[in-house]
Every structure is written in C-alpha cells, then in structure tokens.
C-alpha cells in the first residue's frame, strides 16, 4: 500500500495544477462578476468535500454506536436499506422541486447506503472511531477554507462580507462550529470513553443540521437578503472546470485523510505501548 502513495501524490499534484490552470486561465470570465468569480472554483469544491467528509464522520459515528450491541447493528442495516429504497421510490413517485433530477435523487439514496455498508466493511471495530477523528479534522480544514473564501468572494461582488440570512454560508458556519466543538470534546476528554461521547455529539450535530437549514430558510423569507454564491444555471464550460477542481480536491482530501489515518493508528499504538510500559514499571517496583 505504501508504494502507491507517492504515485498517487504525483497524480494528485498534477490534477491540482491542471485544475488551477483551468480555473485561473482557461475558464471563461463571468459576465457580471468578472475574474473574482473564479474563487467559485475553489469555494464550491471545498464545500462539497467538507460536507462529504462530515457525512463520513456521521456514518462512522453511527457505526461506532450501533456496533456496541449486535441487535442495534442489524436494525441499523435494515434502516439504511429502507432509506435507500424509500429514496429511490420517492424519486419517481413524489413531485420534485425545480431543477432536481429524478435519477440523481435515486443515485444519492443508493450511494448513501453504499457508503454506509462500505465503511462497515472497511472500518471494523476501533477503526471506525479513527475514521471519525480523521474525517472531522480534515473536514474542518476544508470547511475553514469555505468560510474564508466565501466572504472573500462576497465582498467585491456584493459589497458585504457576510449576510446572516445567507442560508448556505450560515449553515456551513454552524456545521463548522459543531465540528470544532467535536474536536475540542475529543481533545479535552479524559478517560477511555472519548470515542463514545464524540460519536454521540456527532449524532446530535447531524440531527441539528436540517433544523439549522430550515430555521435560516424561514428567517430569510422574512428578511430578504442577498444570496451569496448565486443560484441559477451554470455555463457548461464552467461546470466542467468546477468538476475538474472537485476531482482534484477530492483526491487531495483522500491523500490527506489517509496520512492522518496512518498518523492516528501510529499514535494509538504508541500510547498503548507507553501504557504497557508504565504497567510493567509499576509491577517491577
């Protein structure tokens, strides 16, 4: 496995450079916003990557919690399958909002179930907890970038750094706060149950996110605010550049997470060895 790492590193570096060129030079200039709009090619992929990482953290936390009882594990499996099935059915039966493709909703449902079972297979036992730490940390890094590039884009284009009713940026801020709290909880926790209480916090955070979204959404309908980040359709050429950048950042996030994962495994081994050594020393005395 270790041999692949440098190769993947070089490929990722090449991808990132290519994506950077595309974003800064090759992509068409936006009509109204000008060149500043190119921040979009870093802002949006970072957001998608961060959300994916936080979703993985949520899945890993749930796995850690349900694995403590075999009965709960089986129930969770069925629930995930049911959600996937319901999403697929709903995609074709329920009328969807504008611009939302039926196939993408169904694919998302299946993908969620797929990710759940993939993680279940690949990260048994304590490794789920390590995955949780890794995805939380790397997710916070990407989320920080989203929160800084967002205002940097907003200021020259809309004249304001921040709009409290901007649903995407504010939801991202709350998500960031929740995961900073998560990391602090892990850092300050003393005792062997860190993984458990962190997993519980992750579940609370996940429950909170839709509520955050709706509360800000309604707040915005009552206090009309500028929509930072614009809505509406995207020039297909721009979409291409966006996807290239997203691919590059996903590869980068993968490598960073992998490195962090190995670091965490090493750290826990060292801690275990240190604990063992202390035990031997006290016995020898």
Partner 1 sequence: MNFLYAAYAVTWIIHIGYLTTLVRRYSRLKKEIKELNRSQ
Partner 2 sequence: MSVTRATLIKDLRLEWRSKDAINSMLFFSLLVVVVFSFSFDPIAEESRRIAGGLIWVAFLFASVVALNQTWARELRNQVLDAYRVSPAPANSLFIAKALGNFIFVCVLEAVMAPLFVVFYNLRALGPAYQLLIVAPLGTWALVVNGTFFAALSIRTRAREIMLPLLLFPISIPAILGMVSATTAILSGENSARFYIVLLAVYDVVFTIACLALFETILHAE
Q: What track of x and - describes contact with partner 1 for positions 132 through 151 (by CB under 8 A)?
A: ------x--x--xx--xx--
Q: Report if residue 79 touches partner 2, rule: CB under 8 A.
A: no
The 10 Å CB-count burial string (b at 16+, else e) for 74-104 is eebeeebeeebeebbeebeeeeeeeeeeeee
Question: From CA 8, how far away is CA 51, in angstroms rounded?
Answer: 23
Question: Measuring CA to CA, how many Å separate 272 from each of 11, 133, 192, 267, 276?
Answer: 36, 18, 12, 9, 6
Q: What track of x and - describes contact with partner 2 for positions 90 through 129 (by CB under 8 A)?
A: ----------------------------------------
Q: What is the DSSP string of 18-74?
A: HHHHIIIIISPPBTTTBGGGGGHHHHHHHHHHHHHHHHHHHHHHHHHHHTTSHHHHH
Q: Which residue stretch of 38-46, 125-133, 168-176, 205-213 sits at the interface with partner 1 (rule: CB under 8 A)? A: 38-46
Q: Judge contact between 147 and 161, C-beta under 8 A.
A: no
Among 36, 110, 174, 247, contact with partner 2 (rule: CB under 8 A): 174
Q: Which residue stretch of 1-9, 73-81, 165-173, 253-261 sits at the interface with partner 1 (rule: CB under 8 A)? A: 253-261
Q: Report if residue 39 touches partner 1, rule: CB under 8 A.
A: yes
Rounded to the nearest whole angstrom, what is the least distance from the CB of residue 258 to partner 1 in the complex? 11
Q: Judge contact between 48 and 242, C-beta under 8 A.
A: no
Q: Report if residue 14 touches partner 1, rule: CB under 8 A.
A: no
Residue 102 or 155: the one with the smaller Cβ distance to partner 1 is 155
Tokens 């969620």 identify what position? 112
Residue 239 tokens read as 């979409």
Site size toward partner 2, by CB under 8 A? 32
Which residues of this chain interact with partner 1, rule CB under 8 A?
A: 20, 24, 35-36, 38-39, 42-43, 46, 138, 141, 144-145, 148-149, 152-153, 155-156, 252, 256, 259-260, 263, 266-267, 270, 273-274, 277
């Amino acid at each position: 496995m270790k041999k692949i790492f440098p190769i993947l590193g070089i490929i990722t570096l090449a991808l990132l450079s290519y994506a950077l060129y595309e974003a800064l030079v090759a992509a068409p200039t936006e009509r109204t916003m000008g060149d500043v709009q190119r921040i979009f090619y870093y802002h949006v992929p970072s957001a998608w990557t961060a959300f994916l990482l936080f979703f993985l953290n949520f899945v890993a936390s749930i796995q850690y919690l349900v694995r403590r009882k075999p009965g709960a594990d089986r129930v969770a499996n069925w629930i995930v399958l049911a959600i996937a099935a319901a999403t697929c059915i709903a995609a074709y039966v329920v009328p969807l909002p504008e611009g939302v493709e039926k196939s993408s909703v169904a694919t998302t449902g299946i993908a969620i179930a797929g990710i759940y079972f993939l993680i279940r297979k690949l990260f048994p036992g304590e490794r789920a907890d390590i995955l949780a730490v890794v995805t939380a940390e790397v997710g916070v890094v990407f989320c920080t970038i989203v929160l800084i590039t967002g205002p940097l884009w907003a200021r020259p284009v809309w004249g304001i750094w921040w709009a409290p009713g901007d649903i995407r940026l504010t939801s991202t801020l709350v998500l960031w706060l929740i995961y900073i709290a998560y990391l602090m909880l892990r850092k300050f926790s003393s005792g062997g149950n860190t993984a458990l209480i962190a997993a519980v916090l992750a579940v609370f955070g996940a429950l909170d996110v839709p509520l955050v979204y709706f509360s800000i959404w309604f707040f915005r309908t009552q206090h009309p605010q500028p929509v930072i980040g614009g809505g509406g359709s995207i020039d297909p050429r721009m979409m291409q550049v966006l996807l290239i950048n997203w691919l590059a950042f996903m590869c980068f996030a993968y490598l960073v997470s992998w490195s962090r994962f190995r670091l965490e495994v090493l750290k826990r081994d060292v801690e275990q060895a240190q604990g063992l050594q202390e035990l031997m020393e006290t016995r020898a005395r």
